[in-house]
Amino acid sequence: MNISKVDGKNTKHKVFVYALSTCVWCKMTKQFLRDSSVAFEYVDVDLCSEEDKEKIRKNIKDLGGSLSYPTTIIDDKKIVMGFRKDLLKEALEL
């Protein structure tokens, strides 16, 4: 799986974003995290192999999320669906 890593000063939380390369709100989420200097990892699901997509689907479902993008997973447990600045700020204590 092609996981991209973005460095940032804020490493308080482990942040992982499931995104689509074509999705505007996924881009905004990534940009928001960059602008807030949050270190995070992301994967563009539409560019993954079918095998990886299946793994991702299971992972998101196991965490209780639905299959919408962006899905931001914080510390392997908290899920923020969509580009929600308010929820991201709250979860990341920004």
Partner 1 sequence: MTSSTIEQLRGRAEADARTSGCYLIPDKELLQAFLEGLQTNEQRYGYPSCPCRLASGLLEYDRDIMCPCDYRDPDVAEYGSCYCRLYVNKEVFEGKKELPSVPERRPLEKQARAFQAASMPREQGSKAEAAADEASSEKPEDLVKIGPKMWYCKQCGYVVFREDPPYVCPVCKAKREFFAEIKTKVEFSG
Nearer to partner 1, 10 or 78 (CB): 78
The answer to whether residue 34 forms part of the interface with partner 1 (CB under 8 A) is: no
Q: Which amino acid is at 49?
A: S
Q: Where are the beta strands (DSSP E) in the chain?
A: 4-6, 15-19, 40-44, 71-74, 78-81
Q: Is 12 in the site for partner 1 (CB under 8 A)?
A: no
- Please choose, from the candidates 76, 4, 68, 66, the residue with its C-alpha nearest in 3D space to the C-alpha of residue 33: 4
- Pick from 11, 14, 68, 89 the residue near partner 1 by CB under 8 A: 68
In the complex, the residues that contact partner 1 under the rule CB under 8 A are 20-27, 45-46, 50-51, 53-54, 57, 66-69, 82, 84
